[in-house]
Amino acid sequence: MSDKPFSKIVLIFISALDQFLKWTALICGGATLTFMTGFSVWNVLIMRKALNAPITGAEDLLLLALVTIVALSIPLGARTGAHIEIEILESRMSVLFAKWSIIFIKALGATMLGIMGWRLWHAGGTASKFGETTQQLLISFEPFYYLLSVSTLIYALVLVLDIWQIIQAQKENQLQIGEKLL
Residue 122 near other proteins by CB under 8 A: yes
Q: Helices 58-80 and 5-24: crossing angle, nearest 10°?
A: 150
* Cα end-to-end span (Å), the chain: 30
Question: Residue 157, interface with other proteins (CB under 8 A)?
Answer: no
Q: How far is the CB of 10 from other proteins (least distance, A)?
A: 22
**Separation between Cα atoms, residue 101 and residue 91, nearest integer Å:** 13
Residue 123 in the binding site for other proteins (CB under 8 A): yes
91-120: which residues touch other proteins (CB under 8 A)?
Answer: 101-102, 104-105, 108-109, 112-113, 115-116, 119-120
128 binds other proteins (CB under 8 A): no
Residue placing its CB nearer to other proteins in the complex, 11 or 166: 166
22 belongs to the binding site for other proteins (CB under 8 A): yes
Choosing from 1, 9, 16, 41, the residue that interacts with other proteins (CB under 8 A) is 41
Asked if 165 touches other proteins (CB under 8 A), the answer is no
Contact with other proteins (CB under 8 A): which of 50, 88, 95, 96?
Answer: 88
CA atoms of 117 and 145, how far apart (whole Å): 9
Whichever of 15 and 176 has its CB closer to other proteins, that residue is: 176
CB 11 within 8 A of CB 5: no
To the nearest whole angstrom, how small is the minimum distance from the Cβ of residue 94 to other proteins? 13
Interaction between residue 59 and other proteins (CB under 8 A): yes
C-beta neighbour count of 90 within 10 angstroms: 11
Q: Which residues, in sequence order, are bridge partners of residue 140?
A: 133
Q: How many residues bind other proteins (CB under 8 A)?
A: 64
| Other beta carbons within 10 Å of 134 | 16
Please state, as a whole number, how many other Cβ atoms lie within 10 Å of the Cβ of residue 74: 18
